[in-house]
Structure 1
């Protein structure tokens, strides 16, 4: 794997204790339908789980976006991490969004996230939310979506559904190892991995062009450009926190560097951490139960909480 450029990033050694939950009371609300869009003629009830801290007054909200290779989006993912953030004084909503399994593309999924943000604003009193301060926080495909949502604040093409009188914009973004240029996901890897990432009809291609496509993500540069977060970066974007493992073998570490550099060039508040020895999040589902532990250390999670506190509570 090509060595990464860390000249504008902070390198973290994720040793020390794991996060611990249970220090503060958090109420849990499960399986709330926040939107019911139709894709390919089929209506999908999209659900969210909401963690509400026992705190005085309205609290900022964080919308958690799970990964899943654009094919799955399990709102049950990363419970410990979400609870840790909630216990720090944030309402945390973990959401399903449409994927290629539903026949959806990136356009649908970005609209879903914005629908979730508007839903939380519409129900702010019910869940004790400060509607002026909402962030998105995603991993992998969810990190990509977080970056897309943050860089498309105010872009009406990505708004659809209910509560359109309210804003779907966000005030901060946490992007953990998300792609930012779908034609270059494998850019840091060997030739075989690079080729797999641009194979015609693969999941990245379906994410852009739709189910049944025979195109490659290299076949239509203009269409792929419209699907890339880095395309939409401008000086009005909210603050970003980006994190990537230097041993990520699924999404090239240079992907978060691309959007970090674009944000810096536009004068946007952006911070990027490179986690030494870390791979692509929790890979227990492929037989690596230890892989996620670097990502749940206090040394990694506390900068996330501090970033959210600084940009949502100040």
Structure 2
């Protein structure tokens, strides 16, 4: 049996932020069809610390994962933090703060949803990857994960990082899924502007974003989530990258010790409202029909797009069993799914908790390469 630990104070931060590390470095330039500039490889841009993250670290008991990490249907990868991803093979232009939708919130006010779009200067239309950030269902910072997003753009993909409505907006999971599908339709409608091949679209999400993209992938063709603008465009995707996302929202904390489960009570209240609606007061475990509809496993069908799934073996926020359930259900239905367990890795970039080495495990070249290889295999050619 393996165990992992993280301070409960850090858990409070992570429960609200997940992997919401902020980033910068946008050029604000418009996409260009110019050929790539000959450049040498260099370190990918870094993501600066978030400004005023909620919560805070403290001297508290330890969070413990008390179930074995099952790797029987997965591939174990041992990260090499000394060998980091490199960028700079091509020029990448960024268009920031593009408004793609203005849905109404629970209070009746409209909220502008924004995206940042990275376009590599390579000839012709390119596959699109829509990146969906984490944030514990309470934030959705599109600026996050800049190093890996740039790495994917450097590999020849248009990468659009998108906002979506979250629980403090009065939103449910269905609203978040609808927002990501709205972003996909918008980008297809503006494919020529951003040099996108509209027939080759993938989604990639971390943590809460991993959950959302799993739902997006298994609801291809389900029109109940297609609301808003550009309804003449499809929201279907051809590939899904799920990094340490939840699947059964009623069991997020069930693999941790009792003290950890008690500490997660506030997070589970947020999850309950995210599933049942802002007026919902029941725990998700008491609303089985509703939580089943919010579980991507419920929607799996043989025609779903291929998945690649990543999870750290030492994740103390979302148990590795969450992605294992999804992976095994996809395979049982005949869907192509590959799952990687990253040995010793935690829940993404936790540098804002004082863990300055956590991000290096996820930006190690041997961990990032399978992600881009999957996108190459399923979105190129």
TM bucket normalised to smaller: over 0.9
Corresponding position of 1:146: 213
Q: Does 2:104 align with 1:38?
A: yes
5+ residue gaps, structure 1, are none
Q: Does 2:360 align with 1:293?
A: yes
Among 220, 224, 227, the alignment partner of 1:160 is 227
Q: Does 2:125 align with 1:58?
A: yes
CA distance in 2, matches of 1:256, 1:201: 18
In the TM superposition, residue 226 of structure 1 has moved relative to its aligned partner by: 0.6
Match of 2:282, SS?
A: coil
In the TM superposition, residue 191 of structure 1 has moved relative to its aligned partner by: 2.2
The count of residues paired between Structure 1 and Structure 2 equals 314
Corresponding position of 1:283: 350
In the TM superposition, residue 197 of structure 1 has moved relative to its aligned partner by: 4.8
Corresponding position of 2:178: 111
In the TM superposition, residue 212 of structure 1 has moved relative to its aligned partner by: 4.5
Inter-CA distance 231–193: structure 2 relative to 1 (3 Å threshold):
farther
Q: 1:157-196 counterparts in 2 under 5 A?
A: 157-196=224-263
Corresponding position of 1:9: 74
TM value normalised by structure 2: 0.80
Corresponding position of 2:330: 263
CA distance in 2, matches of 1:166, 1:59: 18
Corresponding position of 1:311: 378
Alignment check: 8 A CA contact 1:30 1:48 kept: yes
Alignment check: 8 A CA contact 2:113 2:163 kept: yes
Alignment check: 8 A CA contact 2:90 2:122 kept: no
In the TM superposition, residue 290 of structure 1 has moved relative to its aligned partner by: 1.6
Among 281, 284, 289, the alignment partner of 1:217 is 284
Say which is worse superposed, 11-20 or 173-182, in terms of deviation. Answer: 11-20
Corresponding position of 2:59: none
Inter-CA distance 273–208: structure 2 relative to 1 (3 Å threshold):
same
Among 139, 148, 165, the alignment partner of 1:98 is 165
Match of 1:237, SS?
A: coil
Corresponding position of 1:22: 88
Tell which structure's C-alpha radius of gyration is larger. 2
Alignment check: 8 A CA contact 2:137 2:271 kept: yes
CA RMSD in angstroms, aligned pairs only:
1.3
Corresponding position of 2:33: none
In the TM superposition, residue 194 of structure 1 has moved relative to its aligned partner by: 3.5
Alignment check: 8 A CA contact 1:104 1:210 kept: yes
CA distance in 2, matches of 1:200, 1:60: 36
In the TM superposition, residue 195 of structure 1 has moved relative to its aligned partner by: 4.7
- Show structure 1 runs of 4+ deviating over 3 A: 194-201
Say which is worse superposed, 192-201 or 47-56, in terms of deviation. Answer: 192-201
Inter-CA distance 154–195: structure 2 relative to 1 (3 Å threshold):
farther
